């Protein structure tokens, strides 16, 4: 088998194509999340945080950039919170579960075999079954 045909077989597998689609959609979703964070959330955070260029704070003669680390941690927490709200909470609104269909069988009280709802006698143990209560009034 040639390298080209092996590559074609690999590249056209369903899971590889699905992964490529997921990466493209994830990239587009990243732009949305970044816009929400930078345009909506960070201005509110900027009102709460102290003024000045606190992300450039350094300590010790080694110039350890503590402000940069704290800023990156804060950005991560805000992005994680926005992702949580969008993905988990909003997906509950988008996916409404349908009611399960009514059962089509019942259980024989004698042998515990599954039988149709309309059955008057069990096919396994031949016991006579009581009719179902009518729901119409």
pLDDT digits 0-9 by tens, 14-72:
677 778 778 888 888 888 877 887 788 777 877 777 677 777 888 888 889 888 888 88
CATH number where 56 lies: 1.10.1200.120
Say whether 109 sits in a helix, a strand or coil: coil
The rounded distance, in Å, linking the Cα atoms of 47 and 45 is: 5
Residues 15 and 73 in one domain: yes
Q: Look up residue 54 and give its DSSP letter.
A: G
Among 129, 91, 134, smallest CA distance to 107 is for 129
Phi and psi of 68, rounded to 5°?
-65, -45
What pTM value is reported for the model?
A: 0.45
Residues 85 and 120 in one domain: no
Question: For the chain, what is the domain count?
Answer: 2
Phi and psi of 42, rounded to 5°?
-65, -35
The rounded Cα 10 to chain-centroid distance in angstroms is 28
Q: What is the pLDDT of residue 57?
A: 82
Residues 81 and 44 in one domain: yes
Residues 62 and 26 in one domain: yes
pLDDT digits 0-9 by tens, 105-121:
999 999 999 999 888 89
Q: Whole-number mean pLDDT of the chain?
A: 81
Query: 137 lies in a domain?
Result: no
Residues 125 and 61 in one domain: no
Query: 20 lies in a domain?
Result: yes
């Amino acid at each position: 088998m040639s390298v080209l045909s092996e590559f074609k077989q690999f590249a056209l597998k369903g899971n590889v194509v699905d992964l490529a689609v997921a990466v493209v959609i994830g990239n587009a979703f990243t732009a949305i999340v970044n816009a929400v964070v930078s345009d909506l959330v960070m201005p509110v955070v900027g009102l709460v945080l102290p003024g000045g260029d606190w992300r450039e704070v350094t300590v010790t003669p080694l110039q350890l950039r503590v402000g940069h680390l704290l800023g990156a941690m804060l950005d991560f927490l805000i992005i994680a919170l926005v992702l949580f709200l969008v993905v988990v909470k909003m997906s509950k609104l988008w996916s409404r579960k349908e009611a399960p269909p009514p059962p089509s069988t019942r259980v024989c009280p004698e042998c515990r075999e599954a039988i149709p709802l309309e059955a008057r006698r069990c096919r396994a143990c031949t016991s006579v079954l009581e009719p179902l209560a009518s729901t119409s009034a």
